[in-house]
Structure 1
Amino acid sequence: MKKYILFIFVTVALFSAKAQKPVVYDYSQEVMYAHLNATLFFPGEYLNYKLYCLDKEKNKLSSLSTIAYVELIGASKETVFKHRVRLEDGKGFSDFFIPTTLPSGNYKVVAYTQWMQNTGVADVFIADVQVINPYLSEKLKTTKSTPLKYTLNTKLHFQNSNKEHKTYAKIDVKLDKNTFGKREKVAALLVNNIAELGYGSYSISVRKVDEIPTFETPKAQIINKENFRKNGLLTPNAMLAPEREGYFLKGNILNTSTKIPASNIDVAISIPGDDFYFSVATTKLDGTFSFTIDPDFPGTSAILQVLDKQNYLYSIYVHENEAVDYSSLDFDDFEIASSLENSIINRSVYNQIENGYYSVKPDTLIAVAPSNSFVRYEKGVTYNLDHFKRFPTMTEVFTEIMKIVYTAKGNDGAKVVKVVERKFAKPTDDLAMLFIDGVFIPDHAAFLAFDALKVDKIKFVRNGYVFGKTDYQGVILVTTKNKDYKPSNGHSFCKENELFLPNTQKQYFQQSYDDVTSETLNRIPDYRLQLLWQPNMELKSVEEKVEFYTSDVDGIYKIALEGFTRNGTPISSETYFTVTN
């Protein structure tokens, strides 16, 4: 008995020693900049952001990571929201709607890639923002005067704007006048003073300057200089890999009774759907597995299954994403001057009215072509079962309708499903791959027991495939009438996991008062504070016109251009104008 215990102890120790050996990836470090549309938000408003991920060595937009993460962190270090964002050539964008349940206070917007997490918070983008929620008034702490550290003199900004543009700028934002009426068309001209050297990726925000003192919006030029001076050190422990081709889903397999990591075990993942996702990973010595999922797969949940004849011996555990340590973040005290009451009330009313008319001013989702399953373009034959006599069992369907598919006895004597490779081919020991609504079915007995009257159509492919340690001959794809198949729950070796999907990108609404739309829109209130948010602009000329319309809200507005040239040069340019009656 003692020898047995000692053997187990030594084995576990060896597993641990090998599992803790660091994995080293030889890639350049990344840094992140996020262009925010504002730093002060009310319920009913959107926090818009555009991400720029840069290669720290090349000082250009990075092509390494395809996934980024954006979080809003509260003063108690809790995460308000966490987004997974697609990056294409180092760029991505999304937004967060401020709910009425979010308390007033100081928050931080944090943006990073998984690769950046290896250096802690050194290269992570962090920006201070504020939320004022008048609907949770008990949370507000008022003071008679405005805290000086947040003082913002909007008139000074406006007066200096013309002076700033008299000096040389790489890219200028120019207007033909500084004052506009309500619902008037504004044509801003982006003047690229450095020709091809100014070509690059940019984002533009046109928004009313806050009357309420708040934080300055971070600029690409300033952030770029600060981050490139930092020298984050890679962590000495196991390194997080960059998400180069999609996002990771990680986990581990343990022996259910002994809790010992199960190595060299195949694990299958299925993301159901018409264009389903399927892959197989083999566990490492420490029992861990990892899948890289294409962000364009639209499925919301994944089915994980242990592929082993004794699968009942094992349990699947899915890992949470590695969290960033925010313990070192500092937050200033949050106070609101009582003199700002009217400004807060007016802005809240504007937001309520705007949200009431959202149906006529909607943003639209940008459709993404879904990724295809591994058999999407494979030649096959499809049978619509309503075109044939209906049979209650799958065995009868194969026998009476699909002559190329047949059942036979497996090595253990149980009935299995096979697909003939080609005419006159000798029978093979390789089994067919079985799917119902995109879910892999490793148990052939369970597949044959499925109610055939629920099936809409069956497609079979005669090609051979290798997944994990198993060779397969042919694929059988069953589509049910309701397309809602799920395997039975309650087994430790089969686990359904909700996916943390990347945010869907939007085409943001742009108000227009041209001759076609003005008759309808003239009767609708227009209290927009954000006149334009254009996150995905590519500058490819020496001049680019940007047009938008003012709203019914008078005041001072800022046009802010942020971004990076193709050579990685940060660009920050802005100008101001006034809207009056």
Structure 2
Amino acid sequence: MKFQNFGLNKNKMTKNQMFKHKAILLFIFCSIIAATNSVLGQTETTIPNERTYVHTSATLLFPGDYLYYKCYVQRLDTKNLSNLSKVVYVELINEEQELIFHHKLFLDKGLAHGDFFINQSLSSGNYKLIAYTQWMKNLGVSIFFQQDISIINPYTNDQKEILKTDADTIAENSMAYDNKNKFEFLKLSVDSDNYSTRSMASLLIEAATDDVKKGSYSISIKQKQPTEAARSIGADEFNSFYRTIPEENSLLNSSFLPELRGELVMGKVLDKETLKPIKNTRVILSALGQETLYTVASTNEQGKFYFNIAQPYDQTSVSLRPLDNSNHSVKVMDKEKNDYSKIEFFNLKIDSTLRTKILDKSIHNQIENAFSAVKPDSISIQKPKLFFDDEYLVTYNLSDYTRFPTFRQTVQEVIPDIGIKRINGEDSYSVRTPDNVLFNALPSVMLLDGLLIDEHSKLGQLDAREIEKVQVFTSNFINNGAYYKGAILIETKDMKDATSIKTYSDDLRHTLSVPQKRKKYFSPNYTNETEKNNSIPDFRYQLLWYPDFSFSGKKNEIEFFTSDLQGIFEISLEGFTYSGKPVSLKSWFTVMD
């Protein structure tokens, strides 16, 4: 919610003002509860089902390769990009249903992209790339997106899963592709059919309608695979997979809640002695170094609570604790694992005729990875949405002031926005917020490097020389029914003090998998002769991976550069128009010395 300053200036409130003020607060509180109920499935309503399409850069991979992928999540009723789920999950499993990776990606208007590095520990064999939202789990694994992936690892001795037997036939990959460069309102072309090594190429993409121009697409340009591998599922084929799936589903009849506002963390609050669930109590979530993760949730009639983490985060460990009673314990409910026992896999087979190509590919990958430091990808920085509104934050950078030995002395001498009270012989720090009788006797939130500190007295002797800054949130606020008299945010220089202060017991810690970060992928520039003639080898098989292409006009030109490799290269464009029409286009060109 957007915070408001609940002090009525500095004037004393009349009885009529008090009544109106309480009515406003009650309305806000009820609005929060109503919104929460709708997310938790406590209202009789249905919401549209979803489907997920994934464009992959390749279906045959070697150690040293990256598997790049782009996710498109659509509503089944409109076929538009989904505005429902805020998180998509991507997994890779082997034929024994063992999980190779589990990626969590926050969606931006139904879109997300990620990657996975193929290391030498992965065996040769057949794998399956799977993608889904939590809401999709209600209809079962059969509606998850599934793409066959094969891996050839020449560094292992056991190749029985992919070696040809007498009954198998092997065909080298040819150019017998369906000509997919046919879409009535979108055209894909290159400025030449033939290029030399380390030369600039130009890809022209033309949109004939606004529907196409407003669509979302991803582009892959890579060398032709050395052998017939699993066919990459195109967006046009994917469109036919969901014809028998209902367009919507009831929240009341669903086992899995949609993640409408972010990643859901679910759990229960129990009485420590009786283990009975506790209803109508509150739980606080906080995390070291992540002030944006601080939030409060309330339990329902079954003692269950639901946190919505609305944006990406970097910490794997969070602290969960009951707010109202030390005799309560918190139990986090792990998400149910998917049953992949009925999934069928592609059967890749190779023989000795591919030895030279496999050897060359392996050597090239080793060289490319040896020079990865001079060809770095970059992380796309996303500015976090702060929990505490900047409008009411007062910042004290302690390097600008005389340093005092302890935090308590620093508050007394430097920070007038904080007062110190003695309650039952212990210090309690209170923010001086605008006068309001509803908040005056209430506590102030204190976060040390993102972690909640409920026993303020523990910070009194904290070495102030280790504190970088103190921020004071000078507004009264409500968080999910809990009233607070402002907040104190302490940031230390290296966060070591927060971990040394025992503010919670071990059984209240919970581990989360960190979401995938968005990247901008490296692409060389050989327009300069010096760069073109440099001694750094360029053995890129993947010339371009452009996961978030969108039109800036009806004609768009994308420049890219060939590598030191010769051969036939494939251009693949996948995606959907604004109205949800699938687009799958392919084209090819040759690189010669």
TM-score by length of 1: 0.86
441, 447, 464: which one pairs with 1:429? Answer: 441
504, 511, 517: which one pairs with 1:498? Answer: 511
SS of residue in 1 equivalent to 2:444: strand
For structure 1, which segment, 357-366 or 328-337, has the greater mean C-alpha deviation from structure 2 after superposition? Answer: 328-337
1 CA distance for matches of 2:436 and 2:188? 74
1:371 aligns with 2:385: yes
- Using a 3 Å threshold, how does the CA distance of structure 1 residues 489 and 441 change in structure 2: closer, same or farther? closer
Deviation at 1:545, TM superposition (A): 1.8
For structure 1, which segment, 40-49 or 324-333, has the greater mean C-alpha deviation from structure 2 after superposition? Answer: 324-333
Corresponding letter in the other structure for 1:435? L
- Using a 3 Å threshold, how does the CA distance of structure 1 residues 422 and 450 change in structure 2: closer, same or farther? same
1:289-344 residue CA offsets vs partner (Å, 9 max, x unmatched): 11111224444432222213x41x23222232332221221224554323222221
1:196 aligns with 2:216: no
- Using a 3 Å threshold, how does the CA distance of structure 1 residues 59 and 304 change in structure 2: closer, same or farther? same
Partner of 2:241: 226
1:322-380 residue CA offsets vs partner (Å, 9 max, x unmatched): 32221221224554323222221111111111111112222111111122131433143
- Using a 3 Å threshold, how does the CA distance of structure 1 residues 578 and 482 change in structure 2: closer, same or farther? closer
Partner of 1:172: 187
Partner of 1:384: 398
1:497-536 matched pairs, under 5 angstroms: 497-515=510-528, 517-519=530-532, 522-536=534-548
2 CA distance for matches of 1:330 and 1:486? 47
1:391-421 residue CA offsets vs partner (Å, 9 max, x unmatched): 4462x444455455333344x6654333344
Q: Is the 8 A contact 1:140 1:336 kept in 2?
A: no
Partner of 1:181: 196
1 CA distance for matches of 2:351 and 2:259? 45
For structure 1, which segment, 119-128 or 493-502, has the greater mean C-alpha deviation from structure 2 after superposition? Answer: 493-502
2 CA distance for matches of 1:65 and 1:204? 24
1:106 aligns with 2:126: yes
134, 143, 158: which one pairs with 2:164? Answer: 143
97, 114, 119: which one pairs with 1:94? Answer: 114
Corresponding letter in the other structure for 1:518? E
Q: Is the 8 A contact 2:69 2:115 kept in 1?
A: yes
- Using a 3 Å threshold, how does the CA distance of structure 1 residues 526 and 268 change in structure 2: closer, same or farther? same
For structure 1, which segment, 84-93 or 537-546, has the greater mean C-alpha deviation from structure 2 after superposition? Answer: 537-546
1:24-78 residue CA offsets vs partner (Å, 9 max, x unmatched): 6521111111111110000110111111111110021111112111000110111
Deviation at 1:168, TM superposition (A): 6.3
1:214 aligns with 2:229: yes
SS of residue in 2 equivalent to 1:60: coil
1:155-182 residue CA offsets vs partner (Å, 9 max, x unmatched): 333xx75xx65x6643232234322222
2 CA distance for matches of 1:209 and 1:383? 57
Partner of 2:339: 325
Partner of 2:255: 239
Corresponding letter in the other structure for 1:515? N
Deviation at 1:489, TM superposition (A): 5.3
* Cα RMSD, aligned residues only: 3.0
For structure 1, which segment, 328-337 or 452-461, has the greater mean C-alpha deviation from structure 2 after superposition? Answer: 452-461
- Using a 3 Å threshold, how does the CA distance of structure 1 residues 379 and 525 change in structure 2: closer, same or farther? closer
- Using a 3 Å threshold, how does the CA distance of structure 1 residues 539 and 463 change in structure 2: closer, same or farther? closer
1:348 aligns with 2:362: yes
Partner of 2:51: 31
For structure 1, which segment, 121-130 or 540-549, has the greater mean C-alpha deviation from structure 2 after superposition? Answer: 540-549
Q: Is the 8 A contact 1:561 1:574 kept in 2?
A: yes
1:43 aligns with 2:63: yes
For structure 1, which segment, 538-547 or 557-566, has the greater mean C-alpha deviation from structure 2 after superposition? Answer: 538-547
For structure 1, which segment, 218-227 or 486-495, has the greater mean C-alpha deviation from structure 2 after superposition? Answer: 486-495
Deviation at 1:263, TM superposition (A): 2.2
1 CA distance for matches of 2:172 and 2:156? 25
Corresponding letter in the other structure for 1:502? P
Q: Is the 8 A contact 1:123 1:232 kept in 2?
A: no
Partner of 1:126: 146
- Using a 3 Å threshold, how does the CA distance of structure 1 residues 552 and 577 change in structure 2: closer, same or farther? same
1 CA distance for matches of 2:260 and 2:75? 13
1:249 aligns with 2:261: no
SS of residue in 1 equivalent to 2:302: coil
Question: What stretches of structure 1 move > 6 A for 4+ residues in a row?
Answer: 20-23, 423-427
SS of residue in 2 equivalent to 1:154: coil
Corresponding letter in the other structure for 1:358? S
296, 307, 314: which one pairs with 1:291? Answer: 307
- Using a 3 Å threshold, how does the CA distance of structure 1 residues 381 and 555 change in structure 2: closer, same or farther? closer
For structure 1, which segment, 327-336 or 504-513, has the greater mean C-alpha deviation from structure 2 after superposition? Answer: 327-336
Deviation at 1:88, TM superposition (A): 1.3
Gaps of 5+ in 2: 1-39
2 CA distance for matches of 1:58 and 1:380? 46
2 CA distance for matches of 1:482 and 1:288? 35
Deviation at 1:116, TM superposition (A): 1.1
1 CA distance for matches of 2:221 and 2:364? 17
1:124-164 residue CA offsets vs partner (Å, 9 max, x unmatched): 1101110111111224442256945x74641333xx75xx6
99, 104, 127: which one pairs with 1:84? Answer: 104
- Using a 3 Å threshold, how does the CA distance of structure 1 residues 151 and 263 change in structure 2: closer, same or farther? farther
The number of residue pairs the alignment matches comes to 550
Corresponding letter in the other structure for 2:209? A
SS of residue in 1 equivalent to 2:508: strand
Corresponding letter in the other structure for 2:368? E
2 CA distance for matches of 1:406 and 1:385? 21
2 CA distance for matches of 1:188 and 1:91? 23
453, 464, 476: which one pairs with 2:476? Answer: 464
2 CA distance for matches of 1:144 and 1:522? 45
1:557-568 matched pairs, under 5 angstroms: 557-568=569-580
- Using a 3 Å threshold, how does the CA distance of structure 1 residues 178 and 415 change in structure 2: closer, same or farther? closer
- Using a 3 Å threshold, how does the CA distance of structure 1 residues 369 and 515 change in structure 2: closer, same or farther? same
